[in-house]
Amino acid sequence: MLRAAVVRAGLYPNARVNRIARQVWPRGYLRLAGMPPDWSIGLLEGSSPFDLHAHGAVPSPVIRSADVADVPALLVADPFALHLDGRWHVYFEVVNARSAKGEIALATSTDLRAWTYEGVVLSEPFHLSYPFVFEWDGALHMVPETWESGTVRLYRATRSPADWELVDVLLRGPVLLDSTLVRHRDRWWMFSETNASHGYDTLRLFGADRLTGPWQEHPLSPIVRGDARIARPAGRVVEHADALVRYTQDCHGRYGQRVRAFEIHELSPDRYAEHPVDLRLHPGSWGVTAMHHVDAHRLRNGRWLAFVDGH
């Protein structure tokens, strides 16, 4: 997710010089590109996915770049969580200072307080971020952002939640950012931001009967045109009060400055409609100046837990 902002900044016109600059002084490069490297991951909770505040028993951040032990990490971001066998598994982007690209790492916890860093679990020759993970058909699946490969790729866990293999390529295109899937009324849907100049202002919608496709663009797509405030996905689509909720990054004027929310009240093969809802995120003493990701989960007691990032 964050790598695209650096590319868009275009500090140097020459791609080779850009790559060298990222490798030699990556923290300074990120700062000049407007992307502070000190992103971290925290927890919020609340009575709804629209009103989330600091977790009273668990101070944020819970995962920082300093917790990454196997690679030199510039930042951690884009947390996606699953609760498996009594343990929270959080997958997130790590920007590796050695390779100057994003990789996917895993941390686990039984109580949300003490976290065990498990290591990088997925790395490719190209940049990875936004590790959208979900359970389907008795297996764990992941659709990370892989826009530098020109594809949307589906991975599946094999021997454990830390071992992943490529299953299929779902879509091909020049730019497909932060693809977010949701299963709704026996059909799969995918939201992807697709502005080729990295303006973050064009949201397209695709649908498929099966997870592996074929995927077809919705007749009303793009469902957002020319609006960087509401186009780029910012986390898992969740169900609340008989509607779907999608989170979106506000990238107007500054990349990933805040998160907005929409309630989807029509989603079918020929119709789509949504309306904005008030989203209140209160990180408490964490003191973050920007947030661009919310992964919300409804707990058994009816309350909501959200994994977020911020700097």
DSSP string, 160-219: STT-EEEEEEEEE-S--EEEEEEEETTEEEEEEE--TTS----EEEEEESSTT---EE-T
All residues at 6 or more sequence positions from 279 whose CB lies less than 8 Å from its CB, including other chains: 50, 247, 259, 260, 261
CA–CA dist 245, 168 (Å, integer): 27
CA distance 114 to 111: 7
For 193, residues 6+ apart whose C-beta sits below 8 A from its C-beta are: 175, 176, 177, 178, 200, 202, 203, 204, 231, 232, 233
The H-or-E segment that residue 21 falls in is helix 15-24
Q: Domain residue spans in the chain?
A: 2-310
Using DSSP, state whether 110 is helix, strand or coil: coil
Pairing outcome for strands 203-208 and 187-193: antiparallel
pLDDT in the model for residue 15: 45
> How confident is the model at residue 306, as a pLDDT?
98
For the chain, 311 residues long, give each residue's pLDDT as a single digit of tens. Answer: 555 454 444 433 344 334 433 443 444 445 444 555 579 999 999 999 999 999 999 999 999 999 999 999 999 999 999 999 999 999 999 999 999 899 999 999 999 999 999 999 999 999 999 999 999 999 999 999 999 999 999 999 999 999 999 999 999 999 999 999 999 999 999 999 999 999 999 999 999 999 999 999 999 999 999 999 999 999 999 999 999 999 999 999 888 889 999 999 999 999 999 999 999 999 999 989 899 999 999 999 999 999 999 98
CA distance 17 to 221: 37
Query: In angstroms, rounded to a whole number, what is the distance separating the alpha carbons of residues 95 and 102?
Result: 4
Q: Please provide the CATH number assigned to the domain covering 2-310.
A: 2.115.10.20
